[in-house]
């Protein structure tokens, strides 16, 4: 990439970060987030529509199908900013569905999804902690984020050794809803294929690629939460006094804070490297290894950083009224989405050329 192209890319990423301020103003309060917790559908339909109007849902969709055709660098930058503000609108899941519908030729509800007028979720997961898609026709599909607000589901089904794609209205599936630790919800459905429309005969490769991207973008969202919680913790350490001294002057706490800063820096480096690798066109094991290194680092690092931030705040950090605890709850929900740290470490070991047999 030439110097001019690098400058253009940096400017594109900066503009994406700036655009996030419309939904996630830097340093903004979390009142909106608190008001949406434990309510149906768990997010603001107006904000979701605004995300569509700004082109975020179709950020990775080809321009010919109504998308922006931008890279993973831009998508990760956007997710990071949303993670700082704990934005609950299911952009990652919606973007996954947009990519699948694009791979199916733009059929079905893609225009409504890109406009933010309808939340469409891809119902691919049949068991916990996996990126495999069995496509069992009558098996329950689980762990659908913010399913209480879904208008339709995309269901991959194994037919003749390939993954066909069906679109099923939410009304035909009656999703079972469970509350999550952060105040959102997850849904389960049993596919009613008779009520659905077949959109494509084989989306297996596209779905695998989209799931990898969703894992990486989730890592970026977790990174944003890590950085915001750490910033709040540093502010607390600089102002809280104990025994007549600012507690941030205590060497033991400085060492703990330095370790958290290192965890965040390592996570940022892994995500940046993975986004660059995918945007450069990596395929196969190289692609999977890059994603898994970043997601394993973010999933493990986010929980470590968030727990330490709670402890460094002392007793106040454990109260629900204090905002830093919201970041831990969000990390607990999202760390395992699109694969846990354990799953991605195993996959990295199996796919990375850096690992000697």
Q: Could you report the per-residue pLDDT of 154-199, keeping only the tens digit for each? A: 999 999 999 999 999 999 998 999 999 999 999 999 999 999 999 9
- Residue 10's pLDDT band (cuts 50, 70, 90): confident
Residue 259 above 80 pLDDT? yes
Q: Mean pLDDT over all residues of the chain?
A: 94
- Torsion sign (Cα): 80, 41, 126, 193: negative
* Span 201-223, average pLDDT: 98
CB 167 within 8 A of CB 203: no
- Domains defined for the chain, CATH in brackets: 206-351 (1.20.140.10)
Per-residue model confidence (pLDDT) at position 44: 97
Position 1 scores a pLDDT of 67
Which pair of tokens denotes residue 13? Answer: 């990423």
Closest CA to 124 of 185, 208, 57: 208
**Residue 271 CB neighbour total at 10 angstroms:** 29
Separation of alpha carbons 10 and 98, rounded Å: 25
Which sign does the torsion angle of CA 101, 335, 223, 209 carry? negative
What percentage of the chain carries pLDDT values higher than 70?
99
Partners of residue 198 on adjacent β-strands? 166
pLDDT tens sequence across 105-149: 998 899 999 999 999 999 999 999 999 999 999 999 999 999 999
Q: Which of 12-21, 79-88, 267-276 has the lowest mean pLDDT?
A: 12-21
Q: Percent of the chain scored above 90 by pLDDT?
A: 85
Taking residues 89-108, what's their average pLDDT? Answer: 96
Task: Supply 219's token pair.
Answer: 């890592």
Cα–Cα distance for residue pair 186/189, rounded to 1 Å: 10
């Amino acid at each position: 990439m030439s110097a001019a192209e690098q400058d253009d890319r940096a400017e594109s990423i900066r503009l994406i970060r700036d655009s996030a301020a419309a939904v996630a103003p830097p340093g903004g309060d979390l009142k909106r987030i608190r008001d949406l917790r434990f309510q149906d559908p768990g997010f603001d339909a107006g904000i979701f529509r605004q995300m569509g109007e700004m082109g975020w849902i179709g950020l990775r969709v080809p321009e010919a199908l109504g998308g922006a055709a931008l890279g993973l660098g831009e998508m990760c930058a956007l997710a990071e900013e949303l993670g700082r503000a704990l934005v609950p609108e299911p952009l990652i899941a919606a973007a996954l569905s947009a990519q699948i519908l694009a791979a199916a030729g733009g059929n079905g509800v893609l225009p409504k999804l890109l406009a933010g007028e309808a939340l469409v979720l891809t119902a691919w997961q049949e068991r916990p902690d996996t990126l495999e898609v069995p496509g069992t026709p009558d098996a329950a599909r689980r762990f659908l984020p913010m399913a209480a607000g879904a208008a339709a589901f995309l269901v991959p089904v194994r037919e003749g050794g390939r993954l066909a794609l069906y679109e099923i209205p939410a009304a035909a599936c009656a999703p079972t809803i469970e509350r999550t630790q952060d105040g959102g919800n997850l849904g389960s459905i049993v596919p009613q294929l008779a009520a659905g429309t077949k959109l494509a005969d084989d989306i297996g490769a596209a779905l695998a690629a989209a799931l990898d991207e969703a894992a990486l973008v989730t890592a970026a969202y977790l990174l944003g939460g890590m950085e915001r919680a750490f910033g709040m913790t540093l502010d607390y350490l600089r102002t809280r006094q104990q025994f007549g001294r600012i507690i941030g002057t205590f060497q033991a706490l400085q060492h703990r804070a330095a370790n958290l800063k290192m965890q965040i820096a390592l996570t940022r480096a892994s995500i940046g490297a993975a986004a660059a690798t995918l945007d450069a066109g990596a395929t196969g094991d190289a692609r999977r290894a890059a994603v898994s290194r970043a997601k394993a680092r973010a999933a493990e690092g986010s929980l470590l950083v968030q727990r330490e931030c709670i402890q460094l705040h002392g007793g106040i950090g454990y109260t629900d009224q204090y905002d830093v605890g919201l970041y831990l709850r969000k990390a607990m929900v999202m760390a395992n989405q699109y694969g846990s740290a354990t799953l991605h470490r195993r996959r990295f070991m199996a796919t990375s050329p850096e690992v000697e047999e």
